[in-house]
Amino acid sequence: MVEELRIKNGVVYDPINGVNGERREICIRDGKIVEDVMNPKVIDAEGKVVMPGGVDVHAHIAGGKVNSGRIFRPEDERRGREPKTKVCRSQSGYSVPNTFTTGYRYAKMGYTFVMEPAMPPLLARHTHEEFIDIPILDKAALPLIDNNWMTFDYVKSGDSEKLAAYIAWMIKATKGYGVKLVNPGGTDAWGWAKNQGLNDESEDWGITPAEIIRALAEANEKFEMPHAIHLHQNNLGHPGNFEMTLETYDVTEGVKASKDRSVTHLTHQQFFSYGGTSWKDFESQAKAIAEYVNKNEHVSIDTGTVILGDTTTMTADGPMEYSLYQITGRKWTNCDVELETGAGITPFLYSGKVGVHSIQWTIGLELMLLVKDPWKVALTTDHPNAGPFIGYPIVISTLMSKKRRDEVLSEIHSAVYDKSELPSIDREYDLNEIAIITRAGTAKILGLQEHGKGHLGVGADGDVAIYDISPEERDAGKIQRAFMNTKYTIKGGQIVVKDGEVVAAPEGRTFLVEPIFEDEEIYKEMLSDLETKFRDYYSVTMRNYPVQDAYTPHPYVIKAPMAK
């Protein structure tokens, strides 16, 4: 491993430190950015673009449902196969690649951190086992804590202290990073093949999704959590759902953030920005969503932008996957997880020949172009739901080029001209804004900028992406190619990709948050409630439930004390 590295002559985009396309030198020693180095290996980045390593805020890369997606799609695995090399294990897969491939492909795009956003707590060990087999990247995972019967009990009783104690226990037990919600209330109702809207009262528990969301946001803010609650709200993917989306945004208004960030991160909002009353009069309402985000500080979003083509959809939103399967008639896997959550998986083809899919494609782009402040919006494809992560370079080039957008619009279903604002939007992203929506902003949304991610200031991780492209380049094809395969990717000071080839594949770290709940009495009472759940209803014992240290061989622990 190179101990010292100097990257000279590059044009640096480091938005967190206010560096916007300046010629700067980047020095790295022992894996960290430093002021200067003595005997470095030198990389000449003359005329090339230098950015911090990419940070993905939301991509389903590991765990039970990802693997169920792989198992039932051998046809997907046959796409993109590569033989073993001296450095790389053998590779398979396109929308659901094997673990090794996931690490290599992200690294080739210049990414060094990925958040797995939906870890069923009972299956958390599985997520971590796959993490061990995803090389290069640093990773973290968000446990699902919104359809849990413990959460329901405390929301019902209004016991916010015990709820905070419970989320602290759960995040530690699963070696997780924060609080994830997926169709709160609705996924549990799916246990009876039912679903729930934001203000529907649950027959079994007598509470509404809105109450769950508010309670978890408040519980999250009792700690100095690096990340907001991460919410996939109710009613995903249905025409006309934008109204419920806006109502959902209002639910956490007024909750005070314990850190400098949003209170609620709303994920893959493309799927929630739909107008119309049916698929027939389906239209984009991205404008209404973007306007709300522009006016309010308590929300941040990522987009879930569509990549046209075949993919594998997967989510803890069990009822949504079932309705999608009913539309397509393709294969469908479901997995309800006792007392906690669920999952559904079905393949899907986004076709430019189909009006609805074409409009969906515009919505993910509209959101990014209509939200004025790039720090509030992150680029995702909700991998693999709206498309695989290797489509990011396509999205980047499309955001940077009005010309490319117009070309695609002219090729896909003409409904886009009536049902979407996209054709009339002239805005083009610059490289600084691209750096924000792919690393700086996402690192801030996840609270990682304090932990060395998303920037190139002294003390930051030596994670750097060098793209073989001139800062002035406007050609969409060249932009796409450059962002697909870096000239260099450096992870923790080590060159892992050179000229688009993986040259080293070190093991990555797992980032964990440890919320510290102070009141021992309340914590004990919560544990006693939890013991009852394990004794009577879970199918494993409480002692066998927490993820053992063996599953995080390279942990990076972030303590989250109670908020002052």
Confirm or reject binding of residue 156 to other proteins (CB under 8 A): no
Q: Which is nearer to other proteins, 39 or 541 (CB)?
A: 541
Rounded CA separation 488/485 (Å): 8
Smallest separation (angstroms) from other proteins to the CB of 192: 5
Q: Which is nearer to other proteins, 126 or 287 (CB)?
A: 126
Confirm or reject binding of residue 529 to other proteins (CB under 8 A): no
Rounded CA separation 252/264 (Å): 7
Q: What angle do CA 400, 291, 350 make, to 5 degrees?
A: 55
Smallest separation (angstroms) from other proteins to the CB of 148: 12
Count the site residues for other proteins by CB under 8 A.
61
The stretch near other proteins (CB under 8 A) out of 88-96, 262-270, 406-414, 468-476 is 88-96
Structure tokens at 225: 């959590």
Smallest separation (angstroms) from other proteins to the CB of 222: 28
Smallest separation (angstroms) from other proteins to the CB of 19: 38
Sign, CA dihedral 366-303-379-475, equals: negative
Rounded CA separation 447/522 (Å): 28
Smallest separation (angstroms) from other proteins to the CB of 101: 8
Confirm or reject binding of residue 100 to other proteins (CB under 8 A): yes
Confirm or reject binding of residue 87 to other proteins (CB under 8 A): no
Smallest separation (angstroms) from other proteins to the CB of 198: 23
Confirm or reject binding of residue 507 to other proteins (CB under 8 A): no
**Residue 329 to residues 144, 332, 347, 348, 396: CA-CA distances in angstroms?**
28, 8, 10, 10, 33
Residue from 17, 21, 47, 133 binding other proteins (CB under 8 A): 133
The strand pairing partners of 497, in sequence order, are 489, 502
Rounded CA separation 264/241 (Å): 18
Tokens 């995803």 sit at which residue? 134
Residue from 10, 15, 54, 93 binding other proteins (CB under 8 A): 93
For the purposes of burial, counting CB atoms within 10 Å of the CB of 533, is it exposed (0-12), middle (13-18) or buried (19 or more)? middle
* Ranges within 43-82 binding other proteins (CB under 8 A): 62, 64, 66-68, 70-74, 77, 81-82
Q: Which is nearer to other proteins, 102 or 485 (CB)?
A: 102
Smallest separation (angstroms) from other proteins to the CB of 147: 12
Q: What angle do CA 493, 135, 168 make, to 5 degrees?
A: 95
- Here's the x/- map for other proteins, 336-355, by CB under 8 A: it reads as xxxx--x--xx---------
Smallest separation (angstroms) from other proteins to the CB of 107: 18
Residue 106: its H or E element:
helix 99-108
Residue 535 CA neighbour count, 13 Å, CB half? 6
Residue from 550, 553, 557, 561 binding other proteins (CB under 8 A): 550
Confirm or reject binding of residue 332 to other proteins (CB under 8 A): yes
Whether residue 58 contacts residue 380, with contact meaning beta carbons closer than 8 Å, is answered with yes
* Ranges within 103-122 binding other proteins (CB under 8 A): 122
Residue 424, SS3 per DSSP: helix
Confirm or reject binding of residue 333 to other proteins (CB under 8 A): yes
Rounded CA separation 195/183 (Å): 9
Residue from 26, 123, 212, 314 binding other proteins (CB under 8 A): 123
Q: What angle do CA 152, 153, 156 make, to 5 degrees?
A: 80
Cα 152 versus chain centre, distance:
25
Residue from 44, 46, 90, 353 binding other proteins (CB under 8 A): 90
Rounded CA separation 1/297 (Å): 43
Confirm or reject binding of residue 540 to other proteins (CB under 8 A): yes
Whether residue 11 contacts residue 471, with contact meaning beta carbons closer than 8 Å, is answered with yes
Confirm or reject binding of residue 99 to other proteins (CB under 8 A): yes
Which stretches of the chain bind other proteins, using CB under 8 A? 62, 64, 66-68, 70-74, 77, 81-84, 89-93, 97-100, 122-123, 125-126, 129-130, 133, 149, 190-193, 204, 322, 325, 331-339, 342, 345-346, 536-541, 543-544, 548, 550
